[in-house]
């Protein structure tokens, strides 16, 4: 797979660092945001190929970010959600918001790689 640019939106710095490390090891570039509002700002100023977001974040949560993306000029971007959320209703709303995959916070690097490859059609 060619080198891609991935936006990570997560309010937890440790989780962002872990995801960044996994993604960088796979040969991709990372842009970070601390919440959904910052992620939207990043989308307006930087080119990204994929979005990885947490669910529970201040200002704009992951579902709201996914809804924004799916109803905007960025609707072509695949969105993957990494979350510890267990509420079935919330997770169903996330799927309806346009998220292409859901992962638990204990994300497996190989599964992430396979999801990126599949979502980007490579």
Instruction: List pLDDT tens digits, range 73-119.
Output: 999 999 998 877 677 777 777 777 778 777 777 777 788 777 777 77
Handedness of CA 83, 54, 16, 108 (dihedral sign): positive
pLDDT category at 44 given cuts 50, 70, 90 is very high
Please report the domains of the chain, with CATH numbers, ordered by start residue: 5-119 (3.40.50.2300)
β-strand partners of 30: 6
Question: Is there a contact between 9 and 31 (Cβ–Cβ < 8 Å)?
Answer: no
* Tally of CB atoms within 10 A around 50: 20
Distance CA(43)–CA(33), nearest Å, equals 10
Model pLDDT, residue 85:
66
d(CA 25, CA 31): 15
Q: What is the pTM of this model?
A: 0.86
* pLDDT reported for residue 42: 97
């Amino acid at each position: 797979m060619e080198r891609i640019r991935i936006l990570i939106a997560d309010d937890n710095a440790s989780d962002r660092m872990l995801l960044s490390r996994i993604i960088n090891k796979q040969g991709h570039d990372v842009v970070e945001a601390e919440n959904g509002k910052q992620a939207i700002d990043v989308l307006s100023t930087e080119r990204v190929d994929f979005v990885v977001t947490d669910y529970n974040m201040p200002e704009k949560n992951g579902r709201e970010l996914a809804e924004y993306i799916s109803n905007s000029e960025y609707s072509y971007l695949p969105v993957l959600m990494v979350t510890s959320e267990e509420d079935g209703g919330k997770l169903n709303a996330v799927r309806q918001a346009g998220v292409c995959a859901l992962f638990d916070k204990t994300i497996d690097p190989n599964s992430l790689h396979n999801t990126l490859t599949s979502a980007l059609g490579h």
